[in-house]
Amino acid sequence: MISVGIIGGTGYTGKYLLEFIKEHEMIADYAVYANKSAGSKLLDIFPELLGVIEDQTIQSVSELSYNHDFYFVSLPHGESLKYIPTLLDKGIKVIDLGGDFRLDSKELYNEWYGFDHTSANLLSQKVYGLADVENTLISNSKFIANPGCYPTSIQLALIPFIKNYTDSIISISSASYSGSSGAGKSAKTELLLSELDGNIKAYNVNKHRHQPEIEQELTKVGMKSPFAFTTHLLPIARGIYSTSTIHLKSVIAEDEIKEKYLSEYANSIFVRMRNVPPELKWVVNTNFCDINISAKNKTAVITSTLDNLIKGASGQAIQNMNKMFGWNETLGILKQKEN
């Protein structure tokens, strides 16, 4: 049993960390630290959890306790940087749910995030925690950068293809659609229901911060082809749907491709290969990523979907924590009936 600190857990992802921790048999206790919400009661932030979790007062990050065995850090860009180096110095295990350590090079932070990375030495120490792809580094890691929501949906969709067929690929184009909770809980006119109801729009075209993250990781598994990535805002609160179109140099049989995916994910409990394009609602409120592949002539279309707040954030973070501590990876995030 461990004690967990949550730094910055008062946004949408925070709620799910709390829900998973409640179900988690290896977590004895936890405390929440925040900036603006410090001093508030947890149940004032999350009234829906009344009767579900015990209330507690949110503490100030400025008086952060280092007594917990493990920390989730869920802060805006540029903020995680302020706390993680100290935690690591003290030998405490950490998972960062933000983007401050996902990229490998200091230069990319200047270009895509617009800040000067003050702990660039840690970029090579983190393990990029794409939890559903076999990676023994995760189990041995003390510091995990939890992947972005879009990048999780696209990497899980493309990795088996790239690993097996990279030389056959002419180009890859991913169009991703996200619910509004991906933009966080901040009060912006453009995120009002009055603005978004029945609406949809592309945003950050050719400049979304998840693009270098995806390219960095897909290159590691062998991607050689040009890759493009476009993000859109949906008029719903939850979920991501990604459609990746691959133009091929020659025909590859759909059945053969499907075999490769099934083989790649044979031990991945949270990746569900589908025979039809998945529906977003199948994965909402779960830690699953559902994937379908359709190939015809020289075109392969891979659809993937996940809950941005769970598989794309808190659920994958719990899964990574489970792996770091050597526990069953489903603890807290999936209860399967034993027979």
Applying CB under 8 A, which of residues 142, 272, 325, 327 lies at the interface with its own copies?
272
131 binds its own copies (CB under 8 A): no
Instruction: List, in order, residues 6 or more apart from 14 with CB less than 8 Å away.
Output: 6, 8, 32, 45, 46, 74, 314
Applying CB under 8 A, which of residues 40, 166, 168, 173 lies at the interface with its own copies?
173
Scan residues 6-35 and list those touching its own copies (CB under 8 A): 12, 22-23
Applying CB under 8 A, which of residues 75, 133, 156, 284 lies at the interface with its own copies?
284
253 binds its own copies (CB under 8 A): no
Are 251 and 298 in contact by the 8 Å Cβ rule? The answer is: yes
Nearer to its own copies, 27 or 92 (CB): 27
Provide, rounded to whole angstroms, the least separation between the CB of residue 313 and its own copies: 14
Nearer to its own copies, 90 or 335 (CB): 335
Scan residues 224-243 and list those touching its own copies (CB under 8 A): 226, 228, 230, 232, 234-239, 241, 243
328 binds its own copies (CB under 8 A): no
Nearer to its own copies, 135 or 173 (CB): 173
Could you tell me how many residues of this chain bind its own copies (CB under 8 A)? 83
Nearest to 7 by CA among 48, 129, 20, 17: 17
- b/e per residue 9-25 (b: at least 16 CB within 10 A): bbbbbbbbbbbbbeebe
Cα pseudo-dihedral 279, 285, 289, 295, rounded to 10: 0
198 binds its own copies (CB under 8 A): yes
Residue type present at position 149: C
Nearer to its own copies, 124 or 206 (CB): 206
For residues 327 and 207, what is the distance between their CA atoms, to the nearest angstrom? Answer: 38
319 binds its own copies (CB under 8 A): no
Residue 289 catalytic? Answer: no
Mark residues 52-81: x for contact with its own copies by CB under 8 A, - for none.
xxx---------------------------
DSSP letters for 90-145: TT-EEEE-SSTTTSS-HHHIIIII-S--TTGGGGGTSEE--TTS--HHHHH-SEEE
Angle CA(296)–CA(298)–CA(304) in degrees, nearest 5?
60
Provide, rounded to whole angstroms, the least separation between the CB of residue 322 and its own copies: 17
Give the DSSP H or E segment for 60: strand 59-60
Residues noted as catalytic = 149
